[in-house]
Structure 1
Amino acid sequence: MEDKAELKAPKSKPNKIKTPSVPDDFDLALLSHYHSTNEVVYGDAIDLLEKYGHLTDKVSIDSLYDKIQLLLTQSNSVPFPSPDKGAEKFTFIDLFAGIGGFRMALQNLGGKCLFTSEWDKYSKQTYFANYGDFPFGDITSEQVKEHIPEKFDILCGGFPCQPFSLAGVSKKNSLGRLHGFQDEKQGNLFFHIEDIIRTHRPKAFFLENVKNLVSHDKGNTFKVIKETLEALNYSFDKRVIDGSAFVPQHRERTFMVGFDKDVFGKDVKFDFNTIKYPKKKKAAKTILQADVPAKYTLSDHLWNYLNEYAKKHREKGNGFGFGLVNPEGVTRTISARYHKDGAEILIPQGDKNPRRLTPHEAAALQGYPIYPINTKSKTRSLKIPVSDTQAYRQFGNSVVMPLIQAVGEQVVNLLQLQK
C-alpha cells in the first residue's frame, strides 16, 4: 500500500507577526461599545490600540473607531447616534436586536443603549451603519454575557420563541435535571432573558413576540414565560396589538411589560390603555414610491405561477394566495420570506404585472424613517447597506418601530415616576 503523503505546515519567517487588517466581530463590538458608552465593562478595548494601532496615526480609541468605521461603512456619518453620556433620560439594553427597531424607538424617547446583541451577520451590518454600535453576537455565549453592564434601566427585545412546554419544565424540576438556558441540549433563548434579568435586576423589561405566543402549546409556553418572570418578583402585563394603527400594515404582535416590585412596589401594573394612538390610520399609498425600477415587477413566469398556486388552493377551499394591495387600505403582514416572491404584498400596476415593494418601501412599511417617503431629513434616514434579499429578511423580521415607541413612551413614563 502506498504511504500517505505527510502534510507539513509551511515554515514561518522569524520575527514576522501577521497583523489583522480590521477587527473581528467581537473586537469591533467591544471597540464600538466602549466608544459610545465608556462603560467599565468594555475597558478591555484599550488593548485594541496595540492590536490594531497600525490602522491609525493617532493612538486613541476615538481615532481607531473612526478609522475602522470608515473602512467598513465608507462613512463616519451615523444617522441615529446614541445620546451623549449624561444626557440620557434612562438606559437600556437591546437583545435580539435585528436592525434596531427597539433601539431607534427608545433613543427617540431619550434613552441610551448600553449593550446590544444580534447573531445575524447582515443585520449587524445594518445596525452598525445606522447606530454606530456593532452588536455582540450570540447571547447564549458567556463571553458575550460578561460584557453586559452591571446596571441599566430597561431590558428590551423581540426574542425568538423556541418551543418548550410547562410539562417539560415541571418534569425536569421533579427529576432534579437542568432545563431552559441551563440545558445545553434543549436550551431556549427565553431563559437567557431570565438569566440576565435575575443577574442585573433592571427596573423594567419590555418584550415583543408573535401573536400566537399566547396560544402556543395550548397556552403552556406563555404560562412558563409569565410565571418565570413573576417568580423573579416582577409584574407582568401583556397585550396583543395590531401595528396597523401606526403603519399601513396588518401586523399583530404580543407585547409584554414588567417592573421590578422591589423598586416599584408589589402593586405596580402597566396599563396598556395609556398608549397613545394616531388619530388617523395611514393608507398603503403613503409609503409607495413613484418611480420604481423594472426589476421589482414580477416576471410573467412568476406571476403565472402565483395565479395557478392561488387557483389550486381556492379549489381546495383554502385561503392561500397572493395579496394585491389596495392603495387606500393596509397591507398584509410582511414576512422574512418576502424576498422569495413577494406574494403577501404585491402592488398593482394597471396593465403591467404587479410588483414587489422596494426595500425602502418595506422599511417605511415598518415605520422606519426613509427619505423622501416619510421623512424630510436626508441625514436621519435609515441606511440599507445590504442586498435586497437580506433587506427583505431584515424588515420581515423587524418590529413596527412607531408602535414600539408608543408602548415605550408609557413604560418610560412609569419608570420616571420612581425617580
Structure 2
Amino acid sequence: MIRFIDLFAGVGGIRLGFEQAMHELGLPTQCVLSSEIDKYAQETYSLNFGEKPQGDIYQILDAPGFDFLLAGFPCQPFSYAGKQNGFSDTRGTLFFQIERLLRDHQPKGFLLENVRGLTTHDHGRTFNTILEHLKKLDYGVSYLILNSSNFGVAQNRVRVYIVGIKNGQPKLNLNSDLGAADSHKFKRQLVQRSIFDEFATSIVADILEDNPAAKYDCSPSFVQSLLRQLNGKPEELAGYRMIDHRNGNSFHSWELSIKGECTQDEMDFMNALVANRRKKHFGAHQDGKKLTIEQIKTFFNHPELLQITTSLIQKGYLKEIDGKYNPVSGNMSFEVFKFLDPQSISITLVTSDAHKLGVVHKGRVRHITPRECARLQGFPDTFRCHPDDVHAYRQFGNSVSVPVVKAVVLDLFRSSGHVLTEQRIAELA
C-alpha cells in the first residue's frame, strides 16, 4: 500500500495521474491527507474523490505517516525572500511547507510540479535553492521540463516536474523536451513525430464536443463582425487572435467595431501605428513606443490626421499622454481572444482566460466548453466538472496535464521502484 499526501491539490489532477500510474503498476494506494485552500476547488475535489481537502497548509501542523508526497505548489514569487535572505533560506515561501513535511515525515519519495519559469527565476538562483534544500533532506533529486503535447494532450503546456527519492537517486528514462514552440510548428512537425511514439498524438479536433449547449455560442454581433473580415467564411477563423497591440494573424477591436464603427482611414491609421511603433529608430521599448505626431507622420502623413486621432481617442481605441499616442491595448474586451486551430494543439490554458478561447466547429462560432478544457488537460470524461462554469474554467486553467503526471510517475517507479517500494516494480508491471 502506497500512502500519499496531496498538497496544493487544486481539483486533484496530480492525484489522478499518480493513482492511474499506481493502478497500472498493480500497486494499491491510499490518500491520507489532501490540502487545498480554494473552497470552489475543494468542491470539485470532493465531487470526484469523495473527500474535502483540508484548507490552509499553514494550519496542517501534523500529518499521518505517508510514503509519497505530491504537490503542485503555487508559482509564488520568491523575490522578497531572496532579498531578505540572499536565497540561502526558503522560510516565508509556500515551498517551506513542503520542506517542513518532508523533514518531519521523511517519505520515500515526492513529485512536485510548477511552471517552467521557476527554473529561470532570478537567473536560476530560486530553483537552485529549492533543489539544494531538498538535497539537504537526503533526497536524490531529478527534474524534467516537459510539454504536454508530447503526451497525447492537445495543448502546448510546458511545466517542470521535480522528483525525489530518499537516500537514492532517481533514474529516469524520459528526457526534458520543450516540444513545438507553437501550434504552427506543431503542425509542421506532425509528420516527423517519433520521440514519443507510445503516446498517440492528439489535436484540438479530438477533444471537441459534438453538440454543446447554445450558451457557449458567441454573440451574433461578434460573429457578424468577424465574418465581415473573412468574407463570410467562419472556418478561416482557425488560428486567429484578437489583440490590439500586434499585427500578424490577428483582428483588432477597431476592425471589429468593438467600441464603435471606424472609418477606413481610422482603421488604416491604427494598423499603421501598430505596425510601426516597434521599429528600432523610435526606441528600444519591448512592447512598442508612444509616438509623437511628428513621428507618426513619417509613416502616416494624412491631411486629416488630427481629426482621425481625435475621433479614435473619443471612441476609446487610442490614448494620448503628453503629446504621445499609443493604442488602448488589451484582449479582455473581446468575447474570444484566440480561435484554436482544430488541426493543431491549443495554446496554454490559464486561469484568467480559459473561457475566452474559441473554436469553429460544425458551423458554430463558439467558446470551448469546460469539458473541452478538461480534455485539453487529459482528464477523463468521468471526471466531474464544477457545476458553475466560471469556477470550472478557472480550475482547469490552473490544473496539471494528467497524462504527463502519470508518465513521470510510471517512469520514476519503473526505474527506481526497488527504492520506493518493498516489491520489485518489474515483477508487478
Q: Which amino acid aligns with 1:106?
A: F
Q: Secondary structure at the match of 1:367?
A: coil
Distance 1:386 1:350, change over 3 A: closer
1:172 to partner: Cα distance:
8.6
Q: Verify the 8 A CA contact 1:94 1:156 in the aligned structure 2.
A: yes
Write the distance in 2 (CA, Å) between the matches of 1:248 and 1:170: 41
Q: Secondary structure at the match of 1:292?
A: coil
1:258 to partner: Cα distance:
1.1
Name the structure, 1 or 2, with higher relative contact order (CA <8 Å, separation 6+).
Answer: 2
Q: Which amino acid aligns with 1:209?
A: N
Counterparts in 2 of 1:8-407, with a 5 A limit? 88=1, 90-108=2-20, 109-110=22-23, 111-141=29-59, 144-146=60-62, 148-149=63-64, 151-165=65-79, 167-168=82-83, 170-171=85-86, 180-181=90-91, 187-245=92-150, 246-261=152-167, 264=168, 268-273=169-174, 278-300=198-220, 310-314=243-247, 315=271, 316=274, 322-338=337-353, 342=356, 345-349=357-361, 354-370=365-381, 381-407=382-408
Distance 1:238 1:172, change over 3 A: closer
Q: Verify the 8 A CA contact 2:68 2:109 in the aligned structure 1.
A: yes
For residues 191-235 of structure 1, the C-alpha deviation after alignment (integer angstroms, 9 at most, x for no partner) is 111111111101111000001111112212111111111111211
Write the distance in 2 (CA, Å) between the matches of 1:136 and 1:277: 40
For residues 358-417 of structure 1, the C-alpha deviation after alignment (integer angstroms, 9 at most, x for no partner) is 1111111111111xxxxxxxxxx1112430000000000000001101111122234531
Unaligned runs of 5+ in 1: 1-87, 174-178, 182-186, 371-380
Q: Which amino acid aligns with 2:385?
A: I
Q: Secondary structure at the match of 2:243?
A: helix
1:280 to partner: Cα distance:
2.8
1:355 to partner: Cα distance:
1.4
For residues 233-272 of structure 1, the C-alpha deviation after alignment (integer angstroms, 9 at most, x for no partner) is 21121121000122111111011111111xx3xxx23325
In terms of fraction of residues, the more strand-rich structure is: 2
For residues 332-367 of structure 1, the C-alpha deviation after alignment (integer angstroms, 9 at most, x for no partner) is 11110125x51xx31024765x31111111111111
Q: Verify the 8 A CA contact 1:274 1:410 in the aligned structure 2.
A: no
> Percent of aligned pairs with the same residue?
34
1:274 to partner: Cα distance:
7.4
Unaligned runs of 5+ in 2: 24-28, 177-195, 227-236, 248-270, 276-286, 289-329, 332-336, 423-429
Q: Secondary structure at the match of 2:387?
A: coil
Please report the RMSD computed on the Cα atoms of aligned residues, expressed in angstroms. 2.8
Q: Verify the 8 A CA contact 1:163 1:221 in the aligned structure 2.
A: no
1:171 to partner: Cα distance:
4.6
Distance 1:356 1:308, change over 3 A: closer
Distance 1:279 1:394, change over 3 A: closer
Write the distance in 1 (CA, Å) between the matches of 2:9 and 2:386: 17
Q: Verify the 8 A CA contact 1:346 1:357 in the aligned structure 2.
A: yes
Write the distance in 1 (CA, Å) between the matches of 2:386 and 2:241: 35
Q: Which amino acid aligns with 2:6?
A: D
For residues 74-96 of structure 1, the C-alpha deviation after alignment (integer angstroms, 9 at most, x for no partner) is xxxxxxxxxxxxxx3x2211000
Q: Verify the 8 A CA contact 1:213 1:221 in the aligned structure 2.
A: yes
Q: Secondary structure at the match of 2:15?
A: helix
Q: Secondary structure at the match of 2:339?
A: coil
Q: Which amino acid aligns with 2:213?
A: P
Write the distance in 2 (CA, Å) between the matches of 1:160 and 1:391: 18
For residues 27-48 of structure 1, the C-alpha deviation after alignment (integer angstroms, 9 at most, x for no partner) is xxxxxxxxxxxxxxxxxxxxxx
Q: Which amino acid aligns with 1:330?
A: I
Write the distance in 2 (CA, Å) between the matches of 1:389 and 1:286: 24
Write the distance in 2 (CA, Å) between the matches of 1:129 and 1:156: 20
Write the distance in 1 (CA, Å) between the matches of 2:399 and 2:83: 30
1:107 to partner: Cα distance:
1.6
Q: Which amino acid aligns with 2:57?
A: I
Distance 1:351 1:409, change over 3 A: closer
The aligned residue for residue 255 of structure 2 is none
Q: Verify the 8 A CA contact 2:87 2:125 in the aligned structure 1.
A: no
The aligned residue for residue 54 of structure 1 is none
Q: Secondary structure at the match of 1:408?
A: helix
1:135 to partner: Cα distance:
0.3
Q: Secondary structure at the match of 2:98?
A: helix
For residues 6-56 of structure 1, the C-alpha deviation after alignment (integer angstroms, 9 at most, x for no partner) is xxxxxxxxxxxxxxxxxxxxxxxxxxxxxxxxxxxxxxxxxxxxxxxxxxx
Q: Verify the 8 A CA contact 2:173 2:415 in the aligned structure 1.
A: no
1:323 to partner: Cα distance:
2.5
Q: Which amino acid aligns with 1:329?
A: S
Distance 1:161 1:311, change over 3 A: closer
Distance 1:172 1:389, change over 3 A: closer
1:291 to partner: Cα distance:
0.6
For residues 49-80 of structure 1, the C-alpha deviation after alignment (integer angstroms, 9 at most, x for no partner) is xxxxxxxxxxxxxxxxxxxxxxxxxxxxxxxx
Q: Secondary structure at the match of 2:58?
A: coil
Write the distance in 2 (CA, Å) between the matches of 1:172 and 1:285: 45
Aligned residues: 298
Q: Secondary structure at the match of 1:93?
A: strand
Q: Verify the 8 A CA contact 1:122 1:386 in the aligned structure 2.
A: no
Q: Verify the 8 A CA contact 2:144 2:175 in the aligned structure 1.
A: no
TM-score, normalized by length of structure 2? 0.64
